[in-house]
Every structure is written in structure tokens, then in C-alpha cells.
């Protein structure tokens, strides 16, 4: 039974077993604030619905959450706008990386899911229409769910994202051309880059995700969304959460998860716990190389795969 597992020992075992893998993969280098993070960093944290929490190694060190932010943006848009969001963004896996732009063109400006950049831009546009101060609403949500009021954006990352975001700017303009952005392109991009530039640590991320492991209701921070919506977000995470490796991640790890190019991955064990692992070097799909392996070891050791 899952109650009988000594999770701290499991984390220790994982920490030992991933040690030889440190050095594999490649840290994202498109902006200096990501490129400068030491590749040997590794942290992992668990937050159980019943209250216990566990952390190891660099589990308390903050990193750039990057695309993990798409999970929280989806939650906020879905909470307030409901199923109407699916008129503007799909919930199907995206196929080959090659297809990002052609897919958008072929499907007339409807991004395949909220976790590819085009879809996250649409979600950003939706949030701009819902919140009077979207940046503060977004930060407020993270601070409230994690219980950590010092969470904030890294300004150097934000500046670098804006300066190099030509491809996201291309996507946003194409969405605008298809009439799937209501707000000015630059406003949408500003909010999108803002979300990506937040820094959090594994403990904070595990805590923030707990509502997804607990029927939409965080034991420590209250009701976020309905149980039905929480399950559905988990389903979208499983099929679309890890770029073009969603199938491989489901196969290896067997949990809904969402990754970011900062090297973080959050994952959910429904009705039991939320997890976060961090190691900055990425595999060829853009997911943390060591992080993916650590989660695979976790489900192998605990038999907590949803399958």
C-alpha cells in the first residue's frame, strides 16, 4: 500500500541512482539566464494530499519554471472561462515538432493544445480578458497555492525572453491573422513571457500542484477548480504535457506531467500526491534528462503509475 512507502528513502535511492547520469543532456542555451545554470543541479520534492512532504538535494533551490507555467495558466483560464476555452484551443497531442506552424495553418489558427506555445498564447489572451491585473493574479495564485509570498519573476530572464522571442512573436502574429487573439500581439507576448520567467523551487511547485492530486481542492490552500476539471487537466497533461514526448513519458513514467525547459517537471499521482523534480540538462525532446529518469525510477519503485 502506498501508505507504507518510506518516501524519503525512495528519494534517497533515486538520488543515488541518477548520480551517474548527471552530465548527460544539455542545458537550454537560447538565453543566458538559463544557460548559466549549473548542469549538475538536482532536486526533487513530494507533497502528499494528507499533509506530509518530502524533499531532497536541491529541492529548495529556485529555477525558471518556463512551460510549467502553462499548467497554471490553463487552470486559471479554465476556472473562469470554463469549457468555452476549447473553442479556441484543442486538447490533442501535437505530433512532430516539425508541425508547429503548419499545424496552426492547417487547422486555421486553432492550436492543438494549451501546452504548445501557440496554445499557451491563446490561453494568455483569454486571461488578459478575464483579469484586470493578469500578472498579479498569476503571481498571486502561485504564492497562495505554494504558501510562499516571495515568488516572483526573474527580470533578466524576462528581458532575455522578450529580446529573443522571434518564433513566439511569429506564432502570435499568425494567431492574430487567424483572429484567434483578441488583445494586441505585444500585450499577449508580454504576459506570456512574464509567466515563463517566474522562478520557483521543487517544494513550491509540488505544493502549488496539489489541487490536481486532490480533486481540485488544495488541502492547504482551498478549492481551486471542480473535481471534474482537475481530472480533465490531468488528462490533458498526460497526453500533451511533455512536448513531443508525451507518449514516451506516459510509457516510462505513467503519470500526468508537465515539463519546462528550465529543467523542471511536475507530476501528479491522483488522490495521493504531487511531485516536482528539477535538473537543468534536457534530453532531445526538451524535457529534463535526469528528471525524466528520476520520475521513471519513482513509479518503478513505488508502483504508483496510473496504468
Q: With CB under 8 A, what is the number of residues at the site for a copy of itself?
A: 51
Angstrom distance (rounded) from CA 78 to CA 126: 9
How far is it, in rounded angstroms, from Cα 206 to Cα 173? 34
User: CB count, 10 Å around CB of 254?
Assistant: 21
243 is catalytic: yes
Q: Give catalytic status of residue 261 as yes or no.
A: yes
Instruction: Work out the number of other CB atoms within 10 angstroms of the CB of residue 166.
Output: 8
- What is the rounded CA–CA span in Å between residue 46 and residue 233? 19
- Strand pairing report for 222-223 and 198-200: unpaired
- Candidates 239, 259, 274, 292: give the one binding a copy of itself (CB under 8 A): 239
Do the strands 257-259 and 264-269 form a parallel or antiparallel pair, or are they unpaired?
Answer: antiparallel
Q: Which three cell numbers stand for residue 15?
A: 538520488
78 catalytic? Reply is: no
- The verdict on 128 binding a copy of itself (CB under 8 A) reads no
Residue 142 or 230: which CB sits closer to a copy of itself?
230
Per-residue mark of binding to a copy of itself, 67-106 (x: CB under 8 A): -----------------------xxxxxxx-xxxxxx-xx
Stretch that binds a copy of itself, among 69-77, 149-157, 171-179, 201-209 (CB under 8 A): 171-179
Which one of 7, 211, 243, 289 is the catalytic residue?
243
Query: Is residue 1 at the binding interface for a copy of itself, with CB under 8 A as the rule?
Result: no
Active site residue 102: no
What is the pattern of x (binds a copy of itself, CB under 8 A) and - over residues 131-170?
A: -----------------------------------xx-xx
Can you spell out the DSSP letters for 190-224?
A: HHHHHHHTEEE-HHHHHHHTHHHHTTTEETTTEE-
The angle subtended at Cα 294 by Cα 115 and Cα 254, nearest 5°, is 55
Residue 186 in contact with a copy of itself, rule: CB under 8 A: no
Question: Is-contact 85 78, C-beta < 8 A?
Answer: yes
- Site residues for a copy of itself per CB under 8 A: 90-96, 98-103, 105-107, 112-113, 166-167, 169-174, 176-177, 185, 230-232, 234-236, 238-240, 244-248, 250-251, 254, 256, 270, 305-307
Q: Which residues are identified as catalytic?
A: 67, 70, 192, 243, 261
Amino acid at each position: 500500500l502506498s501508505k507504507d512507502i518510506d518516501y524519503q528513502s525512495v528519494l534517497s535511492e533515486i538520488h543515488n541512482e541518477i548520480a551517474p547520469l548527471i552530465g548527460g543532456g544539455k542545458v537550454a542555451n537560447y538565453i543566458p539566464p538559463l544557460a548559466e545554470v549549473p548542469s549538475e543541479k538536482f532536486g526533487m520534492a513530494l507533497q502528499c494530499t494528507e499533509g506530509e512532504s518530502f524533499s531532497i538535494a536541491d529541492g529548495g533551490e529556485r529555477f525558471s519554471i518556463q512551460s510549467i507555467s502553462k499548467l497554471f495558466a490553463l487552470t486559471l483560464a479554465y476556472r473562469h472561462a470554463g469549457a468555452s476555452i476549447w473553442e479556441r484551443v484543442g486538447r490533442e497531442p501535437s505530433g512532430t515538432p516539425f508541425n508547429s506552424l503548419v499545424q496552426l495553418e492547417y487547422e486555421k489558427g486553432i492550436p492543438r493544445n494549451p501546452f504548445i506555445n501557440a496554445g499557451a498564447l491563446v490561453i494568455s489572451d483569454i486571461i488578459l480578458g478575464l483579469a484586470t491585473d493578469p500578472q498579479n493574479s498569476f503571481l498571486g495564485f502561485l504564492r497562495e497555492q505554494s504558501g510562499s509570498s516571495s515568488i516572483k519573476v526573474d527580470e533578466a530572464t524576462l528581458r532575455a525572453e522578450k529580446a529573443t522571442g522571434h518564433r513566439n512573436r511569429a506564432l502570435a502574429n499568425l494567431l492574430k491573422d487567424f483572429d484567434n487573439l483578441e488583445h494586441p500581439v505585444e500585450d499577449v507576448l508580454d504576459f506570456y513571457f512574464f509567466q515563463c520567467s517566474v522562478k520557483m523551487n521543487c517544494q513550491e511547485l509540488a505544493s502549488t500542484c496539489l489541487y490536481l492530486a486532490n480533486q481540485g481542492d488544495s488541502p492547504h490552500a482551498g478549492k481551486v477548480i471542480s473535481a471534474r476539471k482537475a481530472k480533465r487537466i490531468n488528462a490533458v497533461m498526460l497526453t500533451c504535457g511533455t512536448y513531443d514526448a508525451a507518449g514516451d513519458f506516459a510509457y516510462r513514467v505513467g503519470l500526468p506531467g508537465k515539463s519546462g525547459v528550465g529543467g523542471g517537471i511536475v507530476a501528479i499521482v491522483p488522490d495521493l500526491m504531487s511531485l516536482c523534480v528539477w535538473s537543468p540538462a534536457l534530453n532531445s525532446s526538451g524535457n529534463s534528462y535526469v528528471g525524466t529518469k528520476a520520475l521513471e525510477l519513482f513509479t518503478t519503485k513505488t508502483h504508483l503509475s496510473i496504468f
